[in-house]
Amino acid sequence: MFFKQLNKKSSIKSNLNRTSTVIEIEMLLNLLQMGGPIDKETLSLILMAAFAGGDILLLKLGLKITKARERTRMKWVAVSFLIQFGVIFIISSPLFLLGFAGKFDGDPEVVIPIIILCTFIDLNVINVIHQVGLKRSLIVVSIILLPIVFIMVNMASLLSGPTGF
């Protein structure tokens, strides 16, 4: 008898949770349709977070495709992504500083070598952490590089404000 009542209570609770989730999603969609309190900067931050989460999943997928054997659990994949992102952020920091000063116009002569350097370092970081070899690391880097570049460009434009990029 007790278990039946407990089961009824838990099913009511799960139905309430599902209903509240649906209502929250509908409210968010209504706010987005009305052009509500989510401004351009907030939407940009939400997109960057979504791309970072997607990039972690792409890294996990790339490691599965290349049949990596070392450190493939989600914890290591997330740490690997954070290390890669941090290294790319540190390498790109002079561009951020120039953007803050209003002296950087997005010249390809400056951006392309930095992207190539970041790709090379990213390739080696994946090889060292997950030990998949350089050829397989190149496959993983080719899968995850575009979202990281998107995040960095959006972060740079967001941080530099109206005088930057």
Per-residue pLDDT, 22: 67
Report, as an integer, the average pLDDT of 97-103. Answer: 74
Report, as an integer, the average pLDDT of 8-32. Answer: 62
Are 31 and 47 within one domain?
A: no
Are 43 and 115 within one domain?
A: yes
Are 33 and 80 within one domain?
A: no
Between 29 and 20, whose confidence is greater?
29
Are 4 and 75 within one domain?
A: no
Are 135 and 71 within one domain?
A: yes
Per-residue pLDDT, 3: 47
Please check the confidence at residue 40 and state whether its pLDDT lies above 70. Answer: yes
Percent above pLDDT 70 for the chain: 75
Which structural domain range is residue 86 located in? 39-163
Are 49 and 80 within one domain?
A: yes
Are 55 and 113 within one domain?
A: yes
Answer whether 51's CB lies under 8 Å from 144's CB.
no
DSSP letter for 66, please: T
Q: Which two tokens stand for residue 18?
A: 């599902």
Tell me how far apart the alpha carbons of residues 30 and 13 are, in angstroms, rounded to a whole number. 26
Q: How many domains does the chain have?
A: 2
φ, ψ for residue 70, nearest 5 deg: -105, 135
Question: Mean pLDDT in the chain?
Answer: 77
Q: Which band of pLDDT confidence, cut at 50, 70 and 90, is reported for residue 18? A: low
Are 59 and 130 within one domain?
A: yes
